[in-house]
């Protein structure tokens, strides 16, 4: 059974994604651009959801 959609579950899922990207890229200088390109949007989504701007239109 899947988890019910909620703000907390979405933030937790994005947090797991951020951790996965951090492990994958390791953020060494040679991979910094690729890592940043993957990682930053995930962190932005977490911030937008937490501050409520993600759901405003």
Q: Where are the domains of the chain?
A: 27-56
Give the pTM.
0.52
Buried b / exposed e over 3-36, threshold 16 CB at 10 Å, is eeeeeeeeeeebeebbeebeeebeeeeeeeeebe
Measured distance CA(14)–CA(45) in Å, rounded: 8
pLDDT of residue 1: 44
pLDDT of residue 49: 87
pLDDT of residue 3: 65
Task: Give pLDDT tens digits for 14-50.
Answer: 889 888 877 876 666 566 777 777 778 888 888 888 8
At residue 47's C-alpha, the angle toward residues 44 and 52, to 5°, is: 125
Q: Is the per-residue pLDDT at 55 higher than 80?
A: no
Whole-number Cα distances in Å, 17 to 2, 39, 47: 17, 9, 14
pLDDT of residue 28: 60
């Amino acid at each position: 059974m899947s988890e019910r959609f909620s703000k907390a579950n979405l933030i937790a899922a994005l947090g797991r994604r951020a951790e996965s990207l951090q492990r994958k890229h390791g953020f060494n200088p040679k991979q910094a651009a690729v890592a940043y390109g993957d990682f930053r949007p995930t962190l932005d989504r977490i911030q937008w959801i937490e501050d409520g701007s993600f759901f405003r239109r």
